[in-house]
Amino acid sequence: MPAPGASHSLRGMKSTYRERLPDVPESLAAANIRSEGVRNEKAAPADDRRSRGLRTLSEITGESGERVVDSLRDIAPDLANWIIDFSYGDVMARPGLDRRSRQIATIAALTALGNAQPQLKVHIAGALNVGCTPQEIVEVILQMAVFAGFPAAINALNVAREVFAS
């Protein structure tokens, strides 16, 4: 059971999300540190998380990501909305990392999980879509052999081979 006032504070957090980066220390935000390709602009007030999420999903995964979300609508429409709103509207659209870096991190995480081949396929294609090279993707997967084991890396390489061939 949530603590008294918890829902009130969550509503407040949602309304202030785009005014600041909650996990970035003020000193870094004030320094306006930029890297090539990293977007540091603030979102327009009318840019709500749903439209931001739909745009980000489309820019990264194209039709393959949209198909995944659409396939959930009949059985779990809330999960489909969470993917768009939270995963892509709040997290993947954050300005702290460029899209290539986010896809590399996602490929590493999905490889390490070892049981997310369909999602890995979508994100390998998304990585290619945002400018990662096949060699970079292979290198990320090879590095995961150290942390997740050879079976996880082998499975991910097989997924990558399939994506590269298509």
pLDDT in tens, the chain (166 residues): 555 555 444 444 444 444 445 565 555 555 444 444 444 445 444 468 999 999 999 999 988 888 989 999 999 999 999 999 999 999 999 999 999 999 999 999 999 999 999 999 999 999 999 999 999 999 999 999 999 999 999 999 999 999 999 9
* Helix intervals (H) in the chain: 6-16, 26-31, 49-72, 77-82, 99-113, 117-129, 134-148, 150-165
Structure confidence at residue 102 (pLDDT): 96
Contact (Cβ atoms closer than 8 angstroms) between residue 69 and residue 83: yes
Rounded to the nearest 10 degrees, the angle between the axes of helix 150-165 and helix 117-129 is 50
Global pTM value: 0.72
